[in-house]
Amino acid sequence: MLSTQTLDKLRALRLEGLAQALEEQRRQPEITELDFEERLGLLVERQWLWKENRGFLARLKKAQLKFPNATLEDINYRFPRGLKRAHIEQLRASRWVQEHRNCILTGPTGTGKSYLACALGHQACRDGLRALYFYAPKLFRALQAAHADGSLVSLLKTLVRVDLLIIDDLGLAVANAKQYRDLLEVIDDRIGQGASLFTSQYPVKQWHEAIGDATVADALLDRLVHQAYRLELNGKSMRDPQSAPTD
């Protein structure tokens, strides 16, 4: 009875991990070989892990990654696209996010830019940071809709608060000068507040042409490229079976 009451109180206190560990200990006769402090240490460790995992899953859900299960561990380095393990190891610890630096992934369609971006977002969530993914055309539509319904301030605050903002496939769809000015405002507000990750089929040197407005392009590149990590992928599409590496 006492144990049942204790478990109920632990769950009422939202100590679910500790409650689960206590139940498991009750089913392990050999646990009595440990002293009180050792058993308590196991219980506390389990609660800490439970809380960390719950927080990670919550951050991952809010990130809305296109590939939520993408991880750095599953990256294919054998495929010939100019990606080396050392490039990713520089970004693995998410220190670049904490330092509010940017990352730009460019390369032809099918070279895995979106997967890499999501894997980096997944890692940021693992490291206790908040990430948010947007497909670039959808972000432009969201900004346009926010102008129309008066929710722009709220949307901008959301975009500024996240530690890592991922904008995928910049330049894929045509956007007007006003939409790019909105994007410039987002990036400008995030300076010193968070990191941004962009993917694009266009090399950075072609972004002026893709954006169209030279003034906005200059301002956007000035804020993004300085001290940014840049990964330039190349080669055939990974979706093409004939381009897959062979042993």
pLDDT tens-digit map of 119-134 = 999 999 999 999 999 9
- C-alpha 182/C-alpha 189 separation (Å) is 11
- Is the distance from CB of 231 to CB of 83 less than 8 angstroms? yes
Predicted confidence at residue 242, as pLDDT, reads 52
Mean pLDDT of 188-206: 91
Predicted confidence at residue 246, as pLDDT, reads 37
Predicted confidence at residue 146, as pLDDT, reads 92
- C-alpha 106/C-alpha 197 separation (Å) is 11
Residue with tokens 């960390």: 52
- C-alpha 233/C-alpha 82 separation (Å) is 5
Predicted confidence at residue 104, as pLDDT, reads 95
**DSSP β-bridge partners for residue 181:** none
Alpha carbon distance, N-terminus to C-terminus of the chain: 62
CA distances from 162 to 8, 124, 219 (A): 36, 11, 22
- Percentage helix, strand, coil for the chain under 3-state DSSP, each rounded to 5: 60, 10, 30
- Is the distance from CB of 27 to CB of 4 less than 8 angstroms? no
Q: In the predicted model, what is the mean pLDDT of the chain? A: 87
Predicted confidence at residue 1, as pLDDT, reads 45
Fold of 64-238: Rossmann fold (3.40.50)
Cα within 13 Å of Cα(156), Cβ side: 17
pLDDT tens digit sequence for 12-69 = 878 887 788 888 888 888 887 788 888 888 888 888 888 888 999 999 999 999 999 9
Task: Tell me the domain boundaries of the chain.
Answer: 2-62, 64-238
pLDDT tens digit sequence for 98-118 = 999 999 999 998 899 999 999
What single string gives the DSSP state of each residue in 103-163? EEEE-STTSSHHHHHHHHHHHHHHTT--EEEEEHHHHHHHHHHHHHHT-HHHHHHHHHHSS
In this prediction, residue 211 has a pLDDT band, given cuts at 50, 70 and 90, of: confident
